[in-house]
Amino acid sequence: MNDRRVVITGVGVLSPLGNDLQSTWEGLKAGKSGIGPITLTDPEPYACKIAGEVKGFDEAPWFSNPKDGRRCDRYAQFAVAASKMAIEDAGLDDDSIDRNRVGVMVGSGIGGLGTLEREHEKLIKRGAARVSPFVIPMMISNIGSGIISMEYGFGGPNMVIVTACATSNHNIGEAWRMIKFGDADAFVCGGAEATILPMGISGFSNMKALSTRNDDPQGASRPFDTGRDGFVMGEGAGVVVIEEYEHAKKRGATIYGELVGYGISGDAHHMTSPHPEGDGAARCMDMALKHAKMNPEDVTYVNAHGTSTPLGDVCETKAIKKSFGNHAKDNLIVSSTKSMTGHLLGAAGGVELAACLMAMKDGIVAPTINLENQDPECDLDYTANVAREVEVKAALSNSFGFGGHNSSLLVRKMD
């Protein structure tokens, strides 16, 4: 059964660069930064005062009943919006589809933090009776996936995996596995996040994870550069529709590419720091290549996790060299689109897979901006500052999460 091929037929994106796939991709190609001063909350108390915010978002048009949208946390609103984009792109909302064979796995690394903050403040200041009866369903990380299934009547497998910054990739990868196993014909899958909030900012800031280059927001996220001082928090959603190939072909769907490999591993090392030699990440990429029955030389491009943290960028570089061998230094093209979007946490992998698909479609690799003084320990080709025209036959996207959760997705052009 596991020889069933899986293809990607729809993409939906919300990011600091735009509220759809095309505007986000145009921004990435242009090397545009979506980072700016924080406006969603007062940044004054925090060491980090910058982030990548989704701008001008209105949840109402994305829900069949606007009241339902108001009863969702911002992360779930993002999840529903990006899913609707992907579903419409794929043409999946069709009466000919067996909706009991369509699953949903759209997760969140942190969930409804905004809801938790607001309702906790009510509890402390106004008493228990003032807490919303919707607080639990609004804040849990699985509710976005549940709401999407309700909106479209998708009765296939419905669940989410929560693995911090690896959330999107794990949800997409496990959905891929279920299609290959025959449990579904299609999935709406990916991730969403909205944590530019007092608790999110102070928590990451106090662990010294965030950049404090507040006077230069657009230059703050600088993966692989000697001047990097931490990541920049972002928000948004990245969702794809994946389908069994014959199912997609039968209904005439447009195909972005084939999802051929999925890697998963654990560092078993530290709560927040990656393995210093990149062992877990390398095993993860190796597994994706093995699933795809591809050699390292078959991969054109790696969209790196590349968060702009001093330790993480070095460890990922080591991992790429372990996994790709001589090809890593000779011909492999790498870039970190987080240099432009910031780190979308649980949504990062979905948005970055979209960047890989568009790179294959348009023959353009988005750059790593702000790479002015390359770290000698980061000695690969990171597509510094300017997009590159090149035929991308296959692309791998990495996402690594706190707890040592590693995930890699490998896509290639259709034969």
Q: Provide the annotated active-site residues.
A: 165, 305, 343
Question: Dihedral of CA 141/351/334/232: which sign?
Answer: negative
d(CA 247, CA 243): 7
Closest of 226, 191, 221 to residue 209, by C-alpha: 221
Matching residue, tokens 């037929």: 9
Q: Max Cα separation, the chain?
A: 64
Q: Name residue, tokens 């209105």.
A: 58
Exposed/middle/buried for 96, CB within 10 Å: 0-12, 13-18, 19+?
exposed
**Euclidean distance between the first and final Cα of the chain, in Å?**
21
β-pair type (388-389, 186-193): unpaired
**Other beta carbons less than 10 A from residue 353's beta carbon:** 30
Tokens linked to 162: 């929560």
Q: Which residues contact 236 (CB under 8 A, 6 or more apart)?
A: 13, 14, 15, 16, 52, 54, 78, 82, 192, 193, 341, 344, 347, 351
